[in-house]
Structure 1
Amino acid sequence: MQGIRSTVRIGLVTLLCISLAGCTARYRTHGYVPSEDELQQIVPGVDTRATVEDLIGVPSTSGTLNDSGFYYIESDVRHFAWKEPEVVDREVLAITFDSGGVVENIERYGLEDGQVVPLARRITRSGDGDISFIRKLFGNIGGINAADFFN
């Protein structure tokens, strides 16, 4: 009887330790931002898009309007138990170029510089109800008057 109790206690303690170990926070890093040493190699007014890619790598994303710049983005995300993942740190490195493709400026932004943008789903509804395309097509056949074409 004494052996069963000690085995149950050891089992409960082991189960408790395993469940507590499962509730530790995990941190994951997504993306890439070059180090300060690598950025020192870039000279504004001298380096171009090609030399920036050669020196520090291809960016995470680039500007869509007139190829305005390169953006290197790195995020640290905390995963904890059943909770939704939370972004605890984010760094954005923006390298802007002039119209000739030469480096104009290098800026860093953090999580505190960001703004929350609410996304809304908007659906444009038509006012015809459940009338299908075929019904609309055949419904217009009787509405044509020959006199309208000759006047």
Structure 2
Amino acid sequence: MARPRAGSARLALVAVLCTALVSCSPISRTHGYAPSEEDLSQIVVGVDTRDSVAEVVGTPSTGGVIRDEAWYYVENTWETVGFRAPENVDRQVVAISFAQDGTVENVERFGLEQGRVIALNRRVTEANVKGISFLRQLMGNIGNFRAADVIGPDS
């Protein structure tokens, strides 16, 4: 009779160890959409318009804040390991800027490397790239504010 109990205790121990090992494997989730380099290579700077860009890569969920002079495609990859909080392991931002006549002016891809915005790919018609300061502010200020900054220190 003692033999079956020892077997069931071993089985329970093996089950607990297997569960512990499985819970340590990372779980990845991707939110948003950023076009691939293949899709972006089909866009011709100075020739394509908003309509042709929408046909090739789709319309974005985010556009220019004040004027619709740029489209932004944002993709985040989050990884969760065990009981830890999710960690943002990759962020891609594709910015497609349009000229006054509606043609594509710039196609840029940005990544987030060690908390800094990095231009991964850039096709520009002019030396002065519009919208970088806004994008750097957008990406650089994520998580860098406190409640006291919004509410005020005397509230």
Q: Is the structural similarity TM-score above 0.5?
A: yes
* Counterpart Cα distance in 2 of 1:3 and 1:125: 67
Q: Which runs of 5+ in 1 are unaligned?
A: 127-151
> Which residue does the alignment assign to 1:132?
none
Deviation at 1:57, TM superposition (A): 0.4
With normalisation by structure 1, the TM-score equals: 0.75
Q: Identity percentage over the alignment?
A: 42
Within 5 A, what are the aligned runs for 1:96-135? Answer: 96-112=97-113, 113=117, 114-117=139-142, 118-121=144-147, 122-123=150-151
1:55 alignment partner in structure 2: 56
Instruction: Give 1:98's aligned amino acid.
Output: A
CA, structure 1 residues 125+33, in 2 after alignment: closer, same or farther (shift >3 Å)?
Answer: closer
Instruction: Summarize the Cα distance change of 1:125–1:24 in structure 2 as closer, same or farther, 3 Å threshold.
Output: closer
> Which stretches in structure 2 are left out of the alignment for 5+ residues?
118-138
Higher-Rg member (1/2): 1
Structure richer in strand, relative to its length: 2
For these two proteins, the number of residue pairs brought into alignment is 126
Using structure 2 for the length normalisation, give the TM-score: 0.73
Q: How far apart in 1 are the matches of 2:109 and 2:152?
A: 39
Q: 1:97-120, CA deviations, whole angstroms, 9 ceiling, x for partnerless residues?
A: 112221101011001214244234
What is the alpha-carbon root mean square deviation over aligned residues? Answer: 1.9
Residue identity opposite 1:101 in structure 2: G
Distance between the aligned counterparts of 2:153 and 2:26, measured in 1?
45
